[in-house]
Structure 1
């Protein structure tokens, strides 16, 4: 069961992993046979011995509205320690503590499969007022930064050779302008502890949620956030010290994932700082699980196979011409972000959704040059198929929302030939929403989502179809990127639903090929990589809620 995949080219390893980790009506992907929740890995990484900087808490006092956040009309704030603190509070900070009987657990602003949180965040700062230059690790439990790397000094030129090119520049940009990046990594064991071999998929979905969460938080500050898409994975590892075996002796290693550049809207994104050279590394990683019960070597194999190995050309985008979103309401951005929860179950009778709310949610998923989708400089390759159950003015059935103009013909050719592809009356002209078949699909949605009632008791559920095998075969790292995009779609649904008085939840467990068979899909041109559902949440009154940071003020 735990044998490695046979030697293969990187893209073949990615495709083989994806096939191997599919659930089906006959069997689930390999996972642990038992779970001892008292032995769950520590959800918080710390670097023992690293100097700490306590960050101010400011989200509760933020006056930015949700409408201002998603429309990008917030005046730019200073790029300083206060801004960094708010960015982290709204993207990776704790939203609350929950308790049921003797069990107590933290909720964070960035969603995670099973609330396991494999994603770690690092700040790379140069000349940011109030924050020491270098690399810092964020500890969400305490809302602090741990100083991992201090460069040798502002006047020392760093020279490094890595990834096939030489670099020579100062740690911060010249002229005193601040430079700010976030690097994200994954601790795969946090997910694999519960989900086994399929966990790598969930880690990548979590990264997409986290990337969108950063972009939304940046918008609250009048900043932009953009993925640095051409940087090799090994370069990210070097920049934040993940390649330093001595700092991880006996501790779970982290996988380098993405680097995000941040700057005030209207300003230039910062140039990449040099790789750490000289200076001082501080702190050693804590051990999260002293007695791991299982090993899933295929996760390490697919991780290595899908690392970005070099600097290649970025994708040329063809942004669709879409009208501005019509967003209104008095909801505060911080209230929506901090109040977001993953619904555990829905009240079917209360999940009838107004038509205008549903169309607003669909419009929010279209790839505009605004938060969150402008954070990822890629063509839209993920397209929702919607199981509509309870939406006023829409006949229950299966619908499609192709998010890229050129994909409609391919979807029509790939899906069942008897799908009608009719645009419902009253849908805005710019919104590519098509009804494929009229039917009560509650049972289908529930069955293909691992028999989970949240997929049928909701207003609607969806499966995210990704343009798959040709893209992954061309560049294996695209396997990760497709999951990031799906996670970003999910994060948009989370916040938009919350702002509208509804609630969403991601569904990572679904029967891959059984769904494909129902849709008429053959081969690997399209694959479902994430499910999601939105409805009216049923609240469990037994669970109590406590403040995220009790005893700490702004």
Structure 2
């Protein structure tokens, strides 16, 4: 790859690290009067109100996670509405005093939600063919562009979702590190779409040939005149969602480019903030990691895993997806059974036939370093889950020589779970995660160790994809925790090199890209929880 491009990525990665003696560059305080609007809208477009679903899908989360599917939902406006609600819609409102804020089904760093969703659809139940933008607050589709006549045949049997990121939403709070968090959230969103599609009996799959330039043209985000200064969006990925896998011709560059012919966009994006603070490092890494059309061919996940361990969770999948929350505190008492822990870790293995990995189809590049605190039958300490057996020898060579590499009694043989150090790991987990108690007061916490150097040598855009994979793992952990009566939360603030030093890592070959923690939550009694769409009076609910 281009050495200058690699240098830009590595410079950004180092500059955006939190360190024990200083934090990554940030705003230094929160300018609440200038907080970005969490909802993108396009005034001047025609609007389609979507039906809201409250009846169960008649399939449990336990069935969905194991790959079972009921009768596929009809590929109509009602089905699309349910998919969007369970992927990007509101899950609740919270109130405290005079403050009120929305929660969504897809998790986000700081609840800032930089990810936007665009839908390419054929004519559907009165919905005209074209490009639409989803507004989660109103559960509506805004018609951004009329499409040419060929769309009706080329998109038969499904929809295309294109995800974008608004960097400023995250940079307002997190400064330079915001680029990382936007990529995490894209990974969360990919997984959210994958689980929602599976619950509907549908398939969701990345369209590999659709690079950034094409996605920007299809969504209209390349039209800088439609946006306030510095409030444009960066494109991420395109996903096919349908009753079957995407038509082969659709994942070709020629077919995708043909979709851009004759698009006429309407509407102007709403202004999100009165003022904008530029972060040149974000702009630099954004340009350095642009994804070509088509990118170089990637490897496909091909490991054959045993069936996923089952869990006891009869709850309807849609209900569990809606109840997902990010924990803010843990009780320091709750423990998890060894069986539940093994099943949760098993769900992190990239089985290509199960959500969300069916949508990803990549070799595992990330391997969780686990800080075990309260798991019945497991000695507290530091553990490692090797998600691809072929990289175990690399990890053994990289990690410090005094690591035990002890297999865990009673763990399934395929799990690739090893104890590195037996010890009370609470203090080190807390310190590494920016001195946050949530990393120590839980049942376990973890850092996501990525095979960083190998990925970047394949292309700079893989920097983004590593964070996507971390976000996918995060969404699995969120839902698996809810399914066993616990709660999880992502940890974006951690001291990158402190974890590397603890493991004896000294180069860019391996880097930690996301942290997470799971435990028994403590809810704040001061907060009121309100229904997500109570403000939509008279909307069709079925």
The one of 478, 493, 498 equivalent to 1:514 is: 498
Given that residues 127 and 178 in structure 1 are in contact (C-alpha distance below 8 angstroms), is that contact kept between their aligned partners in structure 2? Answer: no
Q: Distance in 1 between matches of 2:348 and 2:68?
A: 19
CA displacement at 1:409 relative to structure 2: 0.5
Residue 27 of structure 1 corresponds to which residue in structure 2?
22
CA displacement at 1:329 relative to structure 2: 2.6
Given that residues 173 and 179 in structure 1 are in contact (C-alpha distance below 8 angstroms), is that contact kept between their aligned partners in structure 2? Answer: no
Given that residues 187 and 471 in structure 2 are in contact (C-alpha distance below 8 angstroms), is that contact kept between their aligned partners in structure 1? Answer: yes
Q: Is 2:211 aligned against 1:232?
A: yes
CA displacement at 1:269 relative to structure 2: 6.5
Q: Distance in 2 between matches of 1:546 and 1:216?
A: 24
The one of 297, 304, 309 equivalent to 1:314 is: 297
Given that residues 343 and 503 in structure 1 are in contact (C-alpha distance below 8 angstroms), is that contact kept between their aligned partners in structure 2? Answer: yes
The one of 208, 229, 232 equivalent to 1:253 is: 232
CA displacement at 1:243 relative to structure 2: 0.9
Stretch deviating more after TM superposition (245-254 or 529-538):
245-254
Is the partner of 2:412 in helix, strand or coil? coil
> CA offsets, 1:84-128, max 9 Å, x none?
100000000000000011110000000000000000000011244
TM-score scaled to structure 2, two decimals? Answer: 0.95
Stretch deviating more after TM superposition (210-219 or 312-321):
312-321
Q: Is 2:49 aligned against 1:54?
A: yes
Residue 347 of structure 2 corresponds to which residue in structure 1?
364
The one of 489, 507, 511 equivalent to 1:523 is: 507
CA displacement at 1:15 relative to structure 2: 1.2
Q: Distance in 2 between matches of 1:270 and 1:172?
A: 14
Distance 1:270 1:46, change over 3 A: farther
Distance 1:517 1:279, change over 3 A: closer
Distance 1:543 1:492, change over 3 A: same
| 1:322-337 superposed matches below 5 A | 322-327=305-310, 328-337=312-321
Q: Is 2:100 aligned against 1:104?
A: yes
Residue 75 of structure 2 corresponds to which residue in structure 1?
79
Q: Is 2:59 aligned against 1:64?
A: yes
Q: Is 2:120 aligned against 1:124?
A: yes
Residue 135 of structure 2 corresponds to which residue in structure 1?
139
Q: Distance in 2 between matches of 1:437 and 1:475?
A: 35
Q: Is 2:383 aligned against 1:399?
A: yes
Residue 175 of structure 2 corresponds to which residue in structure 1?
196
Q: Distance in 1 between matches of 2:393 and 2:124?
A: 49
CA displacement at 1:36 relative to structure 2: 2.7
CA displacement at 1:398 relative to structure 2: 0.5
Is the partner of 1:122 in helix, strand or coil? strand
| 1:425-464 superposed matches below 5 A | 425-464=409-448
CA displacement at 1:376 relative to structure 2: 1.1
Given that residues 382 and 403 in structure 1 are in contact (C-alpha distance below 8 angstroms), is that contact kept between their aligned partners in structure 2? Answer: yes
> CA offsets, 1:235-262, max 9 Å, x none?
1100111111221244610001111111
CA displacement at 1:516 relative to structure 2: 0.7
CA displacement at 1:437 relative to structure 2: 1.1
Gaps of 5+ in 2: none
Given that residues 367 and 449 in structure 2 are in contact (C-alpha distance below 8 angstroms), is that contact kept between their aligned partners in structure 1? Answer: yes
Q: Distance in 1 between matches of 2:453 and 2:31?
A: 37
Is the partner of 2:472 in helix, strand or coil? helix
Aligned length: 529
Gaps of 5+ in 1: 1-6, 155-169
Is the partner of 2:371 in helix, strand or coil? strand
Residue 196 of structure 2 corresponds to which residue in structure 1?
217
Q: Distance in 1 between matches of 2:237 and 2:156?
A: 23
Q: Distance in 2 between matches of 1:201 and 1:279?
A: 32
TM-score scaled to structure 1, two decimals? Answer: 0.93
CA displacement at 1:70 relative to structure 2: 1.3
> CA offsets, 1:199-248, max 9 Å, x none?
00000000000000000000011111111123221111001111112212
Stretch deviating more after TM superposition (177-186 or 530-539):
177-186
Q: Distance in 2 between matches of 1:282 and 1:231?
A: 23
CA displacement at 1:270 relative to structure 2: 7.1
Stretch deviating more after TM superposition (432-441 or 61-70):
61-70
Q: Distance in 1 between matches of 2:469 and 2:379?
A: 29
Residue 36 of structure 2 corresponds to which residue in structure 1?
41
CA displacement at 1:471 relative to structure 2: 1.6
Residue 547 of structure 1 corresponds to which residue in structure 2?
531
Given that residues 251 and 286 in structure 1 are in contact (C-alpha distance below 8 angstroms), is that contact kept between their aligned partners in structure 2? Answer: no
Is the partner of 2:221 in helix, strand or coil? coil
Q: Distance in 1 between matches of 2:469 and 2:47?
A: 33
CA displacement at 1:317 relative to structure 2: 2.1
Is the partner of 2:340 in helix, strand or coil? helix
Given that residues 34 and 274 in structure 2 are in contact (C-alpha distance below 8 angstroms), is that contact kept between their aligned partners in structure 1? Answer: no
The one of 476, 481, 495 equivalent to 1:492 is: 476
Distance 1:130 1:251, change over 3 A: farther
CA displacement at 1:76 relative to structure 2: 1.5
Is the partner of 1:366 in helix, strand or coil? coil
Q: Distance in 1 between matches of 2:308 and 2:362?
A: 21
Q: Is 2:376 aligned against 1:376?
A: no
Q: Is 2:477 aligned against 1:478?
A: no
Distance 1:129 1:10, change over 3 A: farther
Is the partner of 1:61 in helix, strand or coil? coil
Residue 296 of structure 1 corresponds to which residue in structure 2?
279
Is the partner of 1:430 in helix, strand or coil? helix
Given that residues 301 and 364 in structure 2 are in contact (C-alpha distance below 8 angstroms), is that contact kept between their aligned partners in structure 1? Answer: no
Q: Distance in 2 between matches of 1:541 and 1:264?
A: 43
CA displacement at 1:58 relative to structure 2: 1.2
Given that residues 69 and 216 in structure 1 are in contact (C-alpha distance below 8 angstroms), is that contact kept between their aligned partners in structure 2? Answer: yes
CA displacement at 1:334 relative to structure 2: 1.2
Q: Is 2:130 aligned against 1:150?
A: no
Given that residues 59 and 86 in structure 1 are in contact (C-alpha distance below 8 angstroms), is that contact kept between their aligned partners in structure 2? Answer: no
Q: Distance in 1 between matches of 2:452 and 2:218?
A: 31
CA displacement at 1:131 relative to structure 2: 2.4
